[in-house]
Copies of this chain bind each other. A is one copy, B any other.
Amino acid sequence: MSNLETKADFFKALSHPSRLLILGLCKQKPRHTEEIAEILKLSKATVSHHLSLLATAGLLESERDQYYQNYKLQHELLERKIEEIIFEGVKGFADATDPFRAKVLRDFFKHGRLSQIPAQRKKREIVLEKIVQSFEYDRAYPESEVNQIILEFHDDFATLRRELIGLGWLHRENGMYSRVKV
């Protein structure tokens, strides 16, 4: 449940009356496709489609029993608060409209490039935050690509890369780097 698309799809799975009914039925006991189709007066194909969406969202799991595929409610996600899901992994970064932040960015970035690395920790974090935003989540980067991306901002990519790791915004594992959700 990391990126926005996945979260939206999770809620999309819950966004149809039939699918909510299906969850209710599977809450009572595991159900198979035809049984649900019968109760809801829908075709098997349609129910199979709904079940697939619910299973992909992690709300149901299925298990075969003889001829039947039984779908069982999964509780983990249902027990979570809506906001936990929506804002999970959303960066706790500063408001983009913070005036101090805006001034620091204006002072240190010239034509998109970092004119110098701020000495003050607070200011350095602001420019580092800006830089880390060039990295996507859910993707691994080789060191060469990390360097290349940072080079777009400043020549001393080694220092900046080390700082990003130090702040925990980039993670290194087996020689590959990935952006961390904070």
A82–B77 touching, CB < 8 Å: yes
The answer to whether B29 touches A97, judged by C-beta atoms less than 8 angstroms apart, is: yes
Question: Judging by beta carbons under 8 Å apart, are A8 and B15 in contact?
Answer: yes
> Do B17 and A15 touch (CB < 8 A)?
no
**Chain A binding site: helix, strand, loop or mixed by DSSP?**
helix
A23 is an interface residue with CB less than 8 A from chain B: yes
Q: Please give the count of copies of this chain that the complex contains.
A: 2
Name the B residues within 8 Å of A29 (CB-CB).
95, 97
Tell me how many residues of A have a C-beta within 8 Å of chain B. Answer: 35
Most chain B Cβ neighbours within 10 Å, of A14, A23, A90: A14
Tell whether, in the assembled complex, residue B83 and residue A82 are in contact, meaning their CB atoms are under 8 Å apart.
Answer: no
Q: Identify the A interface with B (CB < 8 A).
A: 4-5, 7-9, 11-12, 14-17, 19-21, 23-24, 27-29, 39, 75, 77-83, 85-87, 90, 95-97
